Amino acid sequence: RTYVGQVRKEDFEKYASTGYFYQLLQLNNLYAPTQGLKHFVAEYISPATEEKPFIYVGRGGGRLCLYCPAVVIAKYYEGAWLNCTVTCMGKPLRVAAAVQKTTVGTPVTVKHDVGFTDSNGSFSLLAPAGNISLLLYLTSGRNEHVVKEIVFNSTTNPDYYPITEDEATRRSNNYTRFLNITVNSSSLTGYVFDDVNGNKSYDKGIDTPLPDVRIQLYDLVNGGTTFVVTNETGGYNVSNLLPSIYELVATYEGFEIHTNETMFLAPDMNRYDIIKPKPSNIKGIVFYDSNNNATYDKGEEMEQARVQLIYSNTNSVVETKVTNATGTYSFSNILPGDYKLNVTVFNVSSGAPAYRALENITLEENTTLIQNISLTLAPIRVSGYTRYQSGETAGNVTIYFIAAAVENNTAKSATTESNATGYYTVALKPGVYNISAHVSVTDEETNETTSYSYRGTLSLSIGQPPVTAFDITLTREED
């Protein structure tokens, strides 16, 4: 850690294997000697440039590293204390804080002591001597967002004088600084518009502004949600926000037209325009896979199928279409997003569903999605009571509906159990079933057990109405 700092093994191998150690210094700030060491500070790193590559050569079965920075001079400090409180608009601010210093020779900015503000906005860090800087920041993934940076190089403000050697080595009686740090609030402004000329910027008089767009900002660090609605010019402005990382969601006419899951708002003014996504289309063929080959074949088309396009976020029906004689459906001018295609074919005679399908789709911007839909047989609701021959109901009886061994049977075996009152209900695919049920009852006085059973059949046709009052009458088994 004194030589390369806190570098993950996979990162070191990634950049070292490219042949240039210089990349470790310049890319992603990976090379940072003494990083995370509170008391050891890299004061000097010998020069390294693009012309000095990272080379391994074989020597006696080993490997020798050439052209690396040969020297890192680190100095030990007991450290001066920085006791700080960070506020914004009079409220404690949640941020990460780091004391950092830039080395001589090869300039590398190294974080030495790192912490986080508590619920009162306070933190304490150790600082070495020199023109250090105090960095207040937030992170999202591996991205670092600067909230405020204070350099200790002032000649007029004693709070921000350079840290002296006496302070850092604690040879002075006063090696603690108390700092009250104020961070400006954040504001966000912008336009929401339809980019008519396609240049990705708002041009008044050319592009179409979108009024009444609801913009939600959720503070991922501090919690809390702020709402704002665009005006008649498509503009919006919200102020007095804490500098933070936000999730932004813009909703227009009930549809989410834009989402930014990790948007950093720096102190002071921020600009963020939102472009309405270009609409897309959906089309395809609705079919019943009669030969069970898991693909559409000519002749399997299903006409008069009702196709509902449902917006997943609100579960509301956007539009409904009916397939033509070729089983074709289409939807045009649809905003991108997550949708469901709910398809039903009704039995002409009974009006009950005969075939069904429900598919989830994601519609990308400015595309045409080809989505063929394979139907399945709609289940039929069967219900009734489990009873004894006397008519008395029998509760908690398990009923088995087993697909019968007949040619081209579309039935699917199922099991259900009646409740304490004897009532049961089950959804069954059309087809032929063998039904069985069994229950044993023990007389508490005589301790004798009597068994009751049922065997029967049931045939369900495609698209028939629900079957009600299909009672299961249990008969006593003979010894």
Summarize pLDDT for 162-182 with one digit per residue, the tens. 999 999 999 999 999 999 999
Question: Could you count the other beta carbons within 10 Å of the beta carbon of residue 369?
Answer: 16
* pLDDT score recorded for residue 386: 97
Residue located via tokens 């030990």: 76
The Cα 250–Cα 218 span in angstroms is 12
pLDDT per residue as tens digits for the range 401-420: 999 999 999 999 999 999 99
pLDDT per residue as tens digits for the range 218-253: 999 999 999 999 999 999 999 999 999 999 999 999
- CA separation (Å) from 135 to 95, 113, 148, 181, 270? 10, 11, 6, 12, 20
CATH class of the domain comprising 280-377: mainly beta
Q: CB of 472 within 8 A of CB of 458?
A: no
366: left (phi over 0), alpha (psi -120 to 50) or beta: left
Q: Collect the ranges in the chain with pLDDT lower than 70.
A: 1, 3-4, 7-8, 11-31, 48-70, 479
Q: Which DSSP category does 276 fall into?
A: P
**pTM greater than 0.85 (yes/no):** no
* pLDDT score recorded for residue 29: 53
Cα first-last separation, the chain: 84
Q: CB of 48 within 8 A of CB of 68?
A: yes
In CATH, 380-476 is 2.60.40.1120 = yes
* pLDDT score recorded for residue 2: 73
* pLDDT score recorded for residue 139: 93
Length of the chain (residues): 479
* pLDDT score recorded for residue 16: 61
Question: What's domain 186-275's architecture?
Answer: Sandwich (2.60)
Question: % helix / strand / coil in the chain, to the nearest 5?
Answer: 5, 50, 45
* pLDDT score recorded for residue 59: 47
> 380-476: same fold as 186-275?
yes
Give domain 1-183's CATH superfamily: Carboxypeptidase-like, regulatory domain (2.60.40.1120)
Q: Indicate the SS3 state at residue 15.
A: helix
Residue 267 makes CB contacts below 8 A (sequence gap 6+) with 88, 147, 148, 183, 184, 185, 186, 243
The Cα 372–Cα 323 span in angstroms is 12
Residue located via tokens 């003979």: 478
The Cα 437–Cα 346 span in angstroms is 32
Comparing C-alpha atoms, which of 370, 350, 349, 347 is closest to residue 359? 370
Report residue 226 as tokens. Answer: 């702020």
pLDDT per residue as tens digits for the range 426-459: 999 999 999 999 999 988 888 899 999 999 999 9
The Cα 214–Cα 436 span in angstroms is 58
Comparing C-alpha atoms, which of 211, 216, 210 is closest to residue 249? 216
Q: Indicate the SS3 state at residue 168.
A: helix
Residue located via tokens 């609701």: 381
290: left (phi over 0), alpha (psi -120 to 50) or beta: alpha
Q: Where exactly are the structural domains of the chain?
A: 1-183, 186-275, 280-377, 380-476
Residue located via tokens 């040879």: 171
